[in-house]
Structures are given as structure tokens and as C-alpha cells.
Amino acid sequence: YEVAPRFADRKMNSTTSWGFNDPIRYRNISLTAHVVIALTTIRDLPGELGPRVAVSRSRAISWLDRNLNLLEKFGDPYEVAIVAYAMMLAKSTSAEAAFDLLQQKAREDGGFKYWGREPVPLPAQRLENQRPFLLPRLPNAFDAANVETTAYALLTYVGRQELFVEPIVKWINTQRLTDGGWASTQDTIIATQALIEYTVRHRIREVTSLTLHVEATSNPQLQRTMYITENNLATPQFMDIPNAWGTVKIQARGAGYAIAQLSLQYNVDVNRFVTPPAVRAFSVVPRLSFSGRNNSHINYDICSSWTNQRESNQSGMAVLDVAVPTGYYMQQQVLDE
């Protein structure tokens, strides 16, 4: 399965003789791995569709087996991770070789284990009175790709029932944002799937019984005790801290896992105080024109383009959010068109 280099379509191709010099780009291994995962996951197909899918899956697995050596020479961590997961899921004869290659691509630092194109800084912290206090997590390059890659690796480790997976789980959770997701939609889906698989296989829900005592130094009278059990494991619990400053102290007792996150929002009116993205990924050029009585109509002409060619030639799923100024509304006729 390959992306045709000149046309915007996807098609089956039994050969790989494109005549190009880039063996990874034009032998799209990651796309074939996606197809293998999909065809291995689906069940109970009606009529003749089942045998046809089985044949296609077998051919795709054989193609991955034959081209596994390309990953060793040219593959990036994402391609290695998704191929290793696809081969493990499909019980390929080359699954062990793919897993060995996956292990070679791993990065380990400070008790964390992850996969990425570049080293990712450890969570920043500061020691006060011999106590570690975590500092804000700033964005890094390749955040979405690193999380998705590590999530596929975790799925592979969990599927193989490997023992030492906690460093991978810890790293994925350190990349989590306070809205419950990660850097993008795609990596959030895969990371959530991987953590659910880990929770089920290791029976985390059954042993979870935690008591957390939360205290803010800005208001010593403001304290709260939270209880986490198997009955409310997936239910977020919040604590609002007015006039926030200083630190938040958390004491935990019991068994299981809990994720504590601190979200702070504030407004700035000076550009140098705005946290910039790690990499400029999009160029957005808005053009506004006014018409109608008293210029009461605004027409937006917005041109956006992907500029982060270092990460990929094209963006993944992207959303352009256009705000409507106060006092204006969208014309339904325009939306319908």
C-alpha cells in the first residue's frame, strides 16, 4: 500500500519499482502498517469480503517482512514503532526482529523511556528544602509525533506482555495536557488506547485505592482530601485555588496510579511574555474586506499553509479556528454554501 507520488489517492500496488531514490518515502511502510493493523482488527466480515481481506492482509504482512531491512537502514522511530506493533498484532514471523529494532530506537533518561527523533528534555523541577517541585511543561519539537510513536511502542510492549513498561507509561503521562489530551488529535487517540490496554492488562483498576491530600501555600485554610477508587478512576476531580501563587503540595497514600496536574491561566499584553511554540508549523495570512452600509459586512479570505517541512512534507489533521467579532454573526446562507 503506497501513496502515489503524483496523485492525491491511495491504491494497492503489488510492486515497489517506482524508480525513486528515497526507499522510505516511496515505499510507504507506515501506511502499509496502518492497513495491516486495520485488517487484523476487524472481525466477522460477510460473504466473500472475509477471504479477500485475509488475502490482502497476508500480502501486506509479507511485504512488511520483505522490507523490514529498510527500517534498519532508513526508518525513523515512528515507522519502526508502528511496523513493530502491526507485526506483533498480526503474529508475523518477523515480529521478533521488528521488536529488536524497536528496542534499539528507544531513548532512556531519568527513569523515563520513550521514542522520538530527538532527545526530549526531562520534566523541569526545582528543589526547595530537599523537596522537588515540578515546573511548567513547555512545548517541544515533534511533541505529537513523539507521543504517538511512544504510544505504538507501549501497545507493542503490552501486547508482548513485557515486564518493564512503567517508564514508558510515566513518560506518556508527563506529556499530557490539562484538558485530558496530548499535543494533537491523532496522538491523543493512540496514547489513550495504549494506556487503556496497559490498565486492563496490568489490572490497575482492581488494585486502585488512593487517598490524596492537597494543600496550597497561598491559602493554608484551603485543603482538600480526594479519594480515588476503581469506581471513580476515570472521573476527574478538581480543586480551584483563588489568588494562586507559591506551590501546591500533594500527599498520596494507598495503591494504584493517579495523575496530578496544575493548570494556570493568565493574560499578557507584551509579546515577549507569550510562550512561543517550539516550532512554527503553520503560516496564516488573513485578508479582511469590508462592505455594506457602514462597512457592516466583513469578508474573510484566509490562506494557511504548512511550513514545518523538517517534521513532514504535509500536515496531519488541522483545524482553522476563525473567531467572529462581537456584534457580528455568520450568515446561514454562507455556511450552507
Q: How far is CA 2 from CA 6, 76, 136, 179, in A?
A: 12, 17, 41, 35
**Distance, first Cα to last Cα, the chain:** 35
In a domain, 142, yes or no: yes
CA distance 313 to 3: 13
Which pLDDT score is estimated for 27? 60
Number of structural domains in the chain:
4
Nearest CA to 152 out of 177, 189, 111, 182 is that of 189
- pLDDT at 235 exceeding the cut of 70: yes
* Higher per-residue confidence, 3 vs 145: 145
Residue scoring higher pLDDT (197 or 248): 197
Q: What mean pLDDT is reported for the chain?
A: 87
Of 104 and 263, which is predicted with more confidence? 104
Among 202, 236, 263, which residue terminates a domain? 202
Residues 220 and 185 in one domain: no
Q: Tell me the H-state helices in the chain.
A: 29-41, 49-66, 68-74, 77-89, 95-104, 143-159, 166-174, 185-201, 204-207, 332-336
Q: Is residue 111 part of a domain?
A: no
- Arithmetic mean of pLDDT, 205-227: 91
Last-in-domain residue among 160, 184, 202 = 202
Q: Contact at 8 Å (CB) between 37 and 89?
A: yes
List CB contacts of 257: < 8 A, sequence separation 6 or more: 204, 208
Contact criterion met (CB below 8 Å) for 93 and 107: no
- Asked if the structure places residue 270 within a domain, the reply is no
Per-residue pLDDT, 204 = 86
275 belongs to a structural domain? no
What pLDDT was estimated at residue 318?
A: 84
Instruction: Round to whole Å and give the CA distance between 281 and 143.
Output: 12
Residue 247 lies in a domain: yes
Kindly state whether residues 59 and 145 are assigned to the same domain.
no
Point out the least confidently predicted range of 7-11, 25-29, 152-156, 269-273: 7-11
Q: Is the pLDDT of residue 120 over 90?
A: yes
What are the tens digits of pLDDT across the range 151-184? 999 999 999 999 999 999 999 999 998 877 898 8
Q: Which residue has the higher pLDDT, 46 or 26?
A: 46
Most confident option among 8-17, 28-37, 66-75, 173-182: 28-37
Residues 144, 166: one domain?
yes
Q: Transcribe 251-301 into DSSP letters.
A: EEEEES------------SSGGGS---SS--EEEEEEEEEESGGG-EEEEE
If you search the block for the grid coordinates 503521562, which residue do you land on?
173
Residue type, 48: E
DSSP code for 57: H
Do residues 79 and 152 lie in contact, with contact meaning Cβ atoms separated by under 8 Å? Answer: no
Is 8's pLDDT higher than 80? no
User: Do 137 and 175 lie in a common domain?
Assistant: yes
What confidence tens digit (pLDDT) does each residue in 269-318 have? 888 888 888 888 899 999 999 998 888 888 889 999 999 988 888 887 78
**Residue 39, all three cell numbers:** 485488517
Q: What is the pLDDT of residue 44?
A: 81
Q: Are residues 164 and 128 in the same domain?
A: yes
| Boundary-marking domain end, from 165, 180, 202 | 202
One domain, residues 15 and 89: yes
Q: Is 206 helix (H, G, I), strand (E, B) or coil?
A: helix
Same domain assignment for residues 4 and 98: yes
In-domain check, residue 110: no
Task: Name the pLDDT band for 332 (thresholds 50, 70, 90).
Answer: confident
Rounded mean pLDDT, 97-119: 96
pLDDT digits (tens, 9 = 90+) for 137-146: 888 989 999 9
Distance CA 211, CA 216 (A): 17
| Range of the structural domain that residue 298 is part of | 280-336
Q: Residue 74 above 50 pLDDT?
A: yes
Residues 17 and 79 in one domain: yes
Residue 267 lies in a domain: no
Per DSSP, the three-state class of 53 is helix
**Domain assignment present for 272:** no
Is residue 6 pLDDT above 90, yes or no? no
Q: Name every residue whose Cβ is closer than 8 Å to that of residue 96 and which is 6 or more positions away in sequence.
A: none
**In degrees rounded to 5, what are phi and psi of residue 284?**
-125, 120
Under the banding of pLDDT at 50, 70 and 90, the label for residue 46 is confident
Q: Which three cell numbers stand for residue 80?
A: 519502526
Same domain for 8 and 92, yes or no, is yes
Same domain, 31 and 81: yes
> Residue 2: its pLDDT value, please?
33
Does one domain contain both 159 and 193? yes
Are both 187 and 224 inside the same structural domain?
no
User: Is 33 within 8 Å of 85 (Cβ atoms)?
Assistant: yes
State residue 3's pLDDT score. Answer: 34
What is the structure's pLDDT at 37? 97
CA distances from residue 118 to 48, 88, 139, 296 in whole angstroms, order as listed: 46, 25, 14, 50
3-class SS of residue 221: coil
